[in-house]
């Protein structure tokens, strides 16, 4: 991407506070089987050379309302996992 270029991404992740509220055994299983759902990729954006980074939280969704492999895993663990959705605006210097 050329300097001054803008990258816009939209995704969701489980934040550290939500993870900390879960039972320890559930945390271990989720971190072992699906560590990717706990990464918000902010640091990766910085390492990629983006210097102006704005993240706008756009809501949340829960695994009880979803049909996905992470939702199936959450249900098997007896939890309703909350994902925070956001849009990230990044400018490359």
Domain boundaries, position 18: 6-92
User: Has residue 46 been placed in a domain?
Assistant: yes
Report whether 38 contacts 82 (CB < 8 A): no
Q: Positive or negative CA dihedral for 64, 43, 22, 26?
A: positive
Q: What is the pTM of this model?
A: 0.78
pLDDT of residue 24: 97
User: Has residue 83 been placed in a domain?
Assistant: yes
89-to-14, 32, 38, 52 alpha-carbon distances in Å: 19, 30, 20, 8
User: Has residue 1 been placed in a domain?
Assistant: no
83-to-2, 4, 13, 14, 25 alpha-carbon distances in Å: 32, 31, 5, 5, 19
32-62 per-position pLDDT tens digit: 999 999 988 888 888 888 888 999 999 999 9
pLDDT of residue 27: 96
User: Has residue 12 been placed in a domain?
Assistant: yes
Domain count, the chain: 1
């Amino acid at each position: 991407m050329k300097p001054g270029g803008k990258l816009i991404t939209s995704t969701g992740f489980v934040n550290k506070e939500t993870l900390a509220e879960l039972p320890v055994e559930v945390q271990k299983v989720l971190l072992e089987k699906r560590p990717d759902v706990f990464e918000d990729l902010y640091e990766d954006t910085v390492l990629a050379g983006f210097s102006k980074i704005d993240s706008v939280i756009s809501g949340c969704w829960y695994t009880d309302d979803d049909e996905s492999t992470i939702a199936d895993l959450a249900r098997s663990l007896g939890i309703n996992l909350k994902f925070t959705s956001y849009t990230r605006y990044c400018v490359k210097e």
